[in-house]
Structures are given as structure tokens and as C-alpha cells.
Structure 1
Amino acid sequence: MHTLWKGALSFGLVHLPVKMHAATEDKDISMKQIHRACGSPISSLKFCKQCNNETGTEDLVKGYEHQKGQYILFEKDELEGLLPESIKEIKIMDFVNIDEIDPIYFQKTYYLSPDSSSDRGYTLLMEALKTTSKIGICKISIRAKSSLGAIRVVNNCLVLETLYYSDEIRPIQNVPNVQTDPVVDPRELVMAQSIVQQLSVTFEPTKYQDDYRNQLNDVINKKIQGDEIQYAVIQPKNNVLDLMSALQASLEALEQSDSKKPVKRRGRPKKIQTA
């Protein structure tokens, strides 16, 4: 597994050499923009309007626009120098209960591996987190960006979850049309609760597939083979304006679905022999 970052994980005065690896991967199908007339891909050029010519990566620096058209320039070394302590260290500052963190704060997941197969400190921290049911709140610098993080345990592996800072979460009060004191019809609530209960299952990640990506892969293969593609016509859905009618229709659809499910048959009862 490719190493994205190498440094130390620390809590108290304990330093654990670790490596960081991406825990997830983007499986979106990549496509390029193609010139329809000739079938050639279009390249993305970095072009300076002022100098009227192309620029290379070595000619570029970061700039903050403090006034319209006026920029404060930063070299790469200047930005990295602002976070000297966190560049190669994941420092755990506090330990908290994971249910105290709302999922809105979570960004991206990374696996942390010990720098050696016999790292006692790594195993010790992992067991301490498991037995106390705690996670560690830390700071880390990834790609010259300071991030808040949470260290937790997944299947005997330490995992880093990058988190948004509190000021990066937009206030719910700014969301339009959200009621402060919502009123619910008791009858509608009972029906909605019934729908939730009937659709409640144990979460199985493999149950959910990217249908669009699978269909797109299928179409790509057919186009390569020169097959004719049949596209389904999307039929508009019937809008049910009455909420009660929509709830009732949902319950009826669920009941019909349940009735079509195969019934588990039990073995035939044994015959009782009489004298």
C-alpha cells in the first residue's frame, strides 16, 4: 500500500513512528474533453493574460488577493514554514468519546501503520483506545494544510479521520425554510415511523453498489465492441401532493413487497404414533 506520509504519532511524551495510507479510493470513471471535429483531447494550459504566453509550474507561486487585482505572494517554503511542528508529527491533544462528534465534522479516512512489525507502542495505544472506548483528537499537516483529526481503531488498525474545524461548519440557522419549532401531525408521524421500522436493516456496505458506474462501464465495453446501445426512457414520476396519501401508498407498497418475499418453510412435523 502506497505511503502518503511518514512521521510520528504522539500522545503525552510517547512518540510512535507511523506511516499514513489512503483508506479509500475514488472509482469514478475518468473522461477527457475531446474536440468533436477531430477527436483529439483538449489540453489544459496555464496561460498568463498579462504576459500573453504559457507558464510552467516552476514559474508559479501562491497568491492571496487582499484587494481587487492585488496579491500577497507566498513561496512554497514560506507556507510550509508556518507549521514546522506538525509537518512530521500527529500530536494527540485530547481523548473524547466518538459519539460526541457529529458526522458532519468527518472529512477523509487514512490508515496508520507502525513503522515496524513489532512496534509495541502502536499496539499499546490501540489497546488503550479500545479498552477505554475513546478516540484521540489530534492535529496534522497534510500537503501544507493544517487539519484537525481523530485517531480511532478499526479492526486492530489505527485510523486517522481528518475533521473540519468548527468555524468551517456552516450554521444550520443559515439554511432557508428550516423551522425552529416544527409541528407534526401525530397520525402522519405514526405512519412515517412504521415505514422507518419496516425499512430498518443491519448496515451491510457491500449491499450498496454504484449503479451509474456499473452501467457506464457496460456501455463503454459495448461501444468498444461496436454494439448498438439501447437507452432506457425515463418516465416522469407521479407527484403525490397529499402527504397522508403518500405515506399510505408507501406502506401498501412495502406490504406488497413483503408478501412477495419467499417464506422460510420449516420441516414437516413428525407424526405421533398412537398405540
Structure 2
Amino acid sequence: MQTEKVANHIVNWLKEYASQANIKGFVIGISGGIDSAVTSTLCAKTGLETLCVEMPIHQAPSHVTRAQEHITQLKEKFNNVTDTRVDLTPVFETFKSSVPTSDSEAKLHLTLANTRARLRMTSLYYLAGLHGYLVAGTGNKVEDFGVGFYTKYGDGGVDISPIADLLKSEVYALASYLEVPHSIQVAAPTDGLFGDSRSDEDQLGASYDELEWAMKMSEEGKKDTDFTGREQEVFKIYTRLNTVNQHKMIPIPVCNIPFDLL
């Protein structure tokens, strides 16, 4: 990948899109992870207003520290960057106390994890509405179009997706070029939605490097029977996730009414 040229291409794309939409800036949720760090840096490089938002919900201290380190670095490098913090922990707790619970611990934990993401989406759009900004998404190609590893109408609810055509390895290459803090570059990827230390790999059952390989093999028309051992296992993981999460990747189904019924 021609890293510098890719970075410049995305920055120019962001500027052109904002200009055509008559929008003066971007708002990005900052998690302390690689994707939000790269996305916010690219937005900052446009010279347009860039609002970085921390939205902790029982967040791990390490996530908070990395997010703050990144925001501090951005503000030192770009005078168009501002930040704010929206503590959603009390909102989340109020929500939990107001809705029915479940006998299934697994379903309850997953549903509440998705609720965290949707509360954050709501906060980002609130701020975007106040300032006249676009919500910039932070999903990469493997997450968005490979395994669907995001929350529908949560972190998947965005106006634009600057890095969604980049594999995770390419996001890391951009992070190095953009001089994202080292602590973020070496941290294990995690969505931070469960309030514990589980990583993305823990949840997915495979690393991003493995999933990138499986995505490439799938695009080449390979089947799980073409592989053995760990490769076959990873390919099956990728295929299963890609299948069950298609509802996130395709347009919302619309029931078309026959003309003679209208």
C-alpha cells in the first residue's frame, strides 16, 4: 500500500464530501483504539473542525488513558481539533434499571453491550446536530464487510466511513505513518463494550490477520474443504460470521406492494 498517497486521498475525499454537503466539520468517538485514532487524525488533517468525543461507560482505565493521550497529541498538532467528554455511565445504569431483564445471561450481556454502542451513537448525533458536523465512522473493511463486527445502529450508525475500504493491517500502516501514539498501535484491539478485558480476537475466535486471509480466500471462491487444521477453522469462523451478519451489510429489506394492490 502507498501509505502516504492513501492518507492524502482519504483527507481529500473527506474535504470534498464535507464541501458538497455544506458541512463544516466532523465528530468522532474516541475509544483509545487504532481505528478511531486513525480516523480522527485523518479528519484533523482536513483542516476542518474536528470534535473528538470520549463516551465512557464503566470504561477500563487503560482505554481512557490511551484515548486522552491521543486527543492531547491531536490538539497539540492541529488547532482545528476540540474535544469533549460525555459520561454515559449514569445514563446506561438508568436505562438498565428501567427495562426488563432476561433469564439468559449471554443474551443479556450481548444486548447491553449493543446498548452501550447505541447510546454512544445517539450522543455523537446529538453533538453533530448542535455543531452542524458529520459523524465519521471508524469501521474497517474486515469489520464492516467481512465479519460484521459492529453494532447495528450503534458504531455502525454513521454519516461517512473514511477507512471502511482498508483492511486492519492497512489501518495499522496508516497509524504508523500518521504517528498515532505507540500505546495505541501496540494495544490489543477491543470494542470495550463488555466492561472487561476481552479482546476482539477473544470474541471473534480469530485474529484480524487470520480473518483478512480468510476474507481473501473467500473472495477467490475457496471453500472450507480446501483447507485443513487451523486454516480450515479460521475459514469456517469467517464464513459463519459473514453469513449471520449479512443483515448488517445489505440494505434494509423493504416490502414492495404490488401495483394492483395500491
- TM class by smaller structure: under 0.3
- Higher percent of residues as helix: 2
- How does the TM-score come out when normalised to structure 2? 0.20
The TM-score, its normalising length taken from structure 1, stands at 0.19
More strand, by proportion: 1
